[in-house]
Amino acid sequence: MSSSKNLFRYIFWVSMAMFFGVGSMWSVSAFSRFLPNPTILGVQVYHASSSTSAQAIEFKNPNKAISFANFDRDNPEIPLTGKVVVTDLRSMIIYLYQDNQLVSSSTILAKGRPGSPWETPVGEYAVKTKELKHFSSIGKVWMPYSLQFFGNFFIHGWPYDSKGKAVARTYSGGCIRLADVDAKKVYDFVDNGTTVLVFGSDKKMDQLANVSANLRLSAVASSYLSLKDPDKMPMSAESYLVADVDTGEVVIEKNKDRILPIASISKLMTALVSLETLNQAEKTIVQPKAYKTYSKTGRLYLNEKILIGDLLYPLLLESSNMSAEALAQHHNRDSFIATMNEKAKSIGMKNTIYDDPSGLSENNVSTAVDLFKQIRYIYKYKKYILDITREPKRVVGKHEWRNVNSLYLLDNYLGGKNGYTDEAGRTLVALFELPLSEFEHRTVALILLKSENRKQDIAEIIRFLSNNVSRETKSAFTPSVI
């Protein structure tokens, strides 16, 4: 068995070597139930069962800023002071805290389907608006006790149509739905600006009665070991990072916190904000300002009417600057860019700034660490974006958009985005599934910033990983994570 696995790894790394031209290499909710047949937007709804237990979770409260990793933990961190709304989409419970004291908890009745474009977005937000009833222009329904926390996403009561008839249980646009009595309780509790923490994954959040006991249960953790110093690799990139998407562990890195221009990697956030704030089934018109945007590939027609959802294909396959501007200008360009920055902050991208939706601006800057947080978020909650980046082409009407990133040809490539401007050099955010041990594959992110030779840098990293890096499991070892 061991020899057959080694043979597989050999074939894998040789194929990678041939692609990059670097020669042969060898390497050392239990509480919820699913209800199908949605009524709008292809959204399947998760409903809490009557057995859901609404107990207080023992939250950790260190005096430090909340990071994105917080939203995947079983013992999440919340601020020590002030009002906080904690929505746990794993156990389908919403908690109200004030000054670290639990005020009340209620059952969440519905959320957006995980993995869909309308999945309820996790992250750190704040109440933007309060309305006793809000009319959804997408769902064409009224939502009582509505609290907007990001884009088109609200916490609200049971929706009803223009005739006052309550919608079916299977109806949802991805918002967080409560019973009216619970929605009113939350509505009365919060103020504009109240922090809203949204946690979510496919697993439930454990009810932690004893944190030390929980830590004992996780006493086995993975670690990456390297035989050589990666700093000696002949890399042209000013900054790079390779990290494990599942665990957050850093495998190798250089200048991972250096703030640099990111070029068209910006379009990942453009796609993310489009999915979470714009109606993908709505049409937009390609305005003159968008049409005049410098764009060698993924061109559109002046005054063309096109679906918002279809603009993601030229955006991600051909890196269309024109499409990025068309999306941003659909409602209000300044507001769209502000939302890009808001989303970045909500998932812990502390050193990231967006100045335009395309990446043409040298003021679009980030760090390898921040970009890892973003691609990890997309991988967990908006994999639809990555799926597009792996398509060879897409035909829509008179348009045929082809993938200009040759990495999509690799079987182990899980998606990503590259970019280039004079100021940013060559940039890359990519996910790969790599055999980094004898018995398992790992999903890792590879991030390059300010590279002079992107293809060669990728080859050097692949060579280094294959020859020097292995993953082991050690008892009571706690790895350093992002």
85-107: pLDDT as tens digits: 999 888 899 999 999 889 999 99
235-245: pLDDT as tens digits: 999 999 999 99
Total number of domains constituting the chain: 2
Binding residues for substrate: 417
State residue 61's pLDDT score: 36
Torsion of CA 138, 142, 145, 148, to 10 degrees: 10
**Residues 118-137: b if buried by 16+ CB within 10 A, e if exposed:** bbbbbbbbbbbebbeebebe
Torsion of CA 362, 365, 367, 368, to 10 degrees: -60
Range name among 13-17, 202-206, 282-286 with the lowest pLDDT average: 202-206
187-199: pLDDT as tens digits: 999 999 999 999 8
323-367: pLDDT as tens digits: 999 999 999 999 999 999 999 999 999 999 999 999 999 999 999
* Catalytic-residue membership of 267: yes
| Residue 300 and residue 432 in one domain | yes
Place 306 in a pLDDT band, splitting at 50, 70 and 90: very high
pLDDT higher than threshold 50 for residue 216: no
163-184: pLDDT as tens digits: 999 988 877 677 999 999 999 9
| Residue 195 and residue 300 in one domain | no
* Catalytic-residue membership of 346: no
State residue 192's pLDDT score: 96
Backbone angles phi, psi at 342, to 5 degrees: -65, -45
pLDDT higher than threshold 50 for residue 62: no
Range name among 8-17, 101-110, 472-481 with the lowest pLDDT average: 472-481
Task: Please give the single-letter amino acid code of residue 13.
Answer: W
* Catalytic-residue membership of 319: yes
- What's the whole-model pTM score? 0.78
Q: How far, in Å, CA of 193 to CA of 234, rounded? A: 48
What is the average pLDDT across 438-463? 92
Single out the residue in 148, 183, 199 at which a domain terminates.
199
319, 361, 437, 466: the catalytic one is: 319
Average pLDDT, the chain: 81
* Catalytic-residue membership of 264: yes
Residue 89, in any domain of the structure: yes
| Residue 171 and residue 256 in one domain | no
47, 83, 267, 382: the catalytic one is: 267
* Catalytic-residue membership of 136: no
134, 175, 274, 330: the catalytic one is: 175
Q: How far, in Å, CA of 311 to CA of 65, rounded? A: 35
Range name among 35-49, 382-396, 435-449 with the lowest pLDDT average: 35-49
Q: Per DSSP, what are the bridge partners of residue 37?
A: none
What are the Cα distances from residue 281, in Å, to 41, 117, 122, 223, 306? 8, 11, 23, 44, 10
State residue 14's pLDDT score: 55
Range name among 111-115, 150-154, 228-232, 353-357 with the lowest pLDDT average: 111-115
Residue 405, in any domain of the structure: yes
Q: What would the two tokens of residue 100 be?
A: 């670290």
Quick one: which of 407, 371, 353 has its CA closest to 243?
A: 371
Residues 6+ apart with CB under 8 A from 149: 125, 126, 127, 128, 155, 196, 198
Q: How far, in Å, CA of 377 to CA of 371, rounded? A: 10
264-305: pLDDT as tens digits: 999 999 999 999 999 999 999 999 999 999 988 889 999 999
Residue 44, in any domain of the structure: yes
| Residue 236 and residue 365 in one domain | yes
| Residue 437 and residue 290 in one domain | yes
Domain coverage including residue 351:
227-475
Q: Which residue has the higher pLDDT, 28 or 453?
A: 453
| Residue 142 and residue 272 in one domain | no
Quick one: which of 382, 272, 431, 281 has its CA closest to 336?
A: 272
264, 266, 346, 466: the catalytic one is: 264
What are the Cα distances from residue 248, in Å, to 31, 228, 284? 27, 21, 38
47, 156, 343, 450: the catalytic one is: 156
Binding residues: 417
